[in-house]
Amino acid sequence: MNSRPQPKRTLTAQLNALRTTALCLFAVSMILLCAFVFMLTSMGKVGGSSDETTATSETTTVPTTAETSATEETTTESTTEATTTGAHASYPADTKIIALTFDDGPDKCTPQVLDALERNGVVATFFMIGQNVSGTDASVLKRMVDLKCEIGNHTWAHKTLTKLSVDEAYEQLQKCDQAIMDKIGQKATVIRPPEGAGLMQDGLFKYSFENKEYVVNWDDVCCPKDWAKPALGDAHYTAQYVIDNASDGSMVLLHDSHQSTADSLDEMIQGLKDKGFVFVTVSEVLESRSASLGLTVEKATSKGWDSSMLMEAYPGGPVYGVRYAYVSSKLMFEERKKS
């Protein structure tokens, strides 16, 4: 008879033990959950500091193609850690970045250039002439977008802006953007004035400011001058010149109208990869290296735009937030000589 109550007590005890264990497990899991949530919140705060706080409204806009391209490159380049600031990715100083740029197209070699970019898994920026855009099949421009390349405005008719009135310059840029818009439903994000001339032209200033398009020239130091001999007609020379002279933040001036330039790309890209370069868009160079490229609000304010206006338009502030920037080859060169 003793054996009967015993199992009952054991069962009750077991049930109690089980209940206690369940309660303990519940409590522990709640603590762990709280800790996890706290950790996530803190990480979010740390990640959102500095650069990202400067981005504000721009970060909330639809991510651009360039941003996704940077993300993809990061996965292939193990040493690269790009973080998102503004509309584009930002690369740390210990990563060597470079932007290949092709002016004056679309032209006969543009499809070959795109083939080379795709084959090598890299991006570039195309500064296109509006007239050429309007005479080109939309599929060519769509392919640039598909390959995560950046679209640049090189005026409607390749006019030297210093020879135009303010209104004429403005119209040249507007018409080019409209031509691009008609083909792919989006306008350019960067501007390069023909011949690199007229960086302080008011029409250019006004248009780029209103449309938040960076104004950039190129890096003279690594420019192979592919429109003239010895680079013209010599793919190997063109490739080697860029490989030998490129440095972090270089924007390489090339033209997709020259066969030798198109032919140089496989060798050029491989050589640059061997030297550790990561290929990015022009906007990404600007947003990652603006501090070292000599881009300052002073350049803009010297033309009469007051800094509060710039701050209002680009709440990020004077360095990362200001999308309007002058990068002349001279400025870059001088900045590099200083360092």
Residues labelled as active-site residues: 103, 255
Nearer to Zn ion, 226 or 284 (CB): 226
CA dihedral 223, 143, 67, 36 (to 10 degrees): -140
CA nearest neighbour of 104 among 30, 39, 188, 193:
193
Binding track over 64-103 against Zn ion, x by CB under 5 A: ---------------------------------------x
Nearer to Zn ion, 77 or 103 (CB): 103
The count of chain residues that interact with Zn ion, using the rule CB under 5 A, is: 3
d(CA 4, CA 32): 42
- Token pair in block for residue 18: 């089980």
Give the strand pairing for 250-255 and 214-216.
Answer: unpaired
Nearer to Zn ion, 303 or 330 (CB): 330
CB 309 within 8 A of CB 122: no
From 94-102, 192-200, 210-218, 272-280, span contacting Zn ion (CB under 5 A): 192-200
From the CB of 264, what's the least distance to Zn ion, in Å? 18
Q: Cα dist. 248→195, 265, 278 in Å?
A: 23, 19, 9
Nearer to Zn ion, 96 or 258 (CB): 258
From 83-91, 194-202, 211-219, 329-337, span contacting Zn ion (CB under 5 A): 194-202
Nearer to Zn ion, 104 or 150 (CB): 104
d(CA 45, CA 260): 50
- Token pair in block for residue 62: 């639809």
From the CB of 169, what's the least distance to Zn ion, in Å? 15
Nearer to Zn ion, 126 or 314 (CB): 126
d(CA 317, CA 297): 9
From the CB of 270, what's the least distance to Zn ion, in Å? 27
From the CB of 338, what's the least distance to Zn ion, in Å? 29
- 194 is a contact residue toward Zn ion (CB under 5 A): yes
Name the one residue in this structure whose structure tokens are 């210093």. Answer: 162
Interhelix angle 138-146/110-120, rounded to 10 degrees, is 20
From the CB of 267, what's the least distance to Zn ion, in Å? 24
| Sequential DSSP letters for 167-229 | HHHHHHHHHHHHHHHHHHS---SEE--GGG--TT-HHHHHHHHHHT-EEE---GGG---TTST
Interacting residues with Zn ion between 96 and 115 (CB under 5 A): 103-104
From the CB of 127, what's the least distance to Zn ion, in Å? 7
By the criterion CB under 5 A, which residues form the site for Zn ion? 103-104, 194
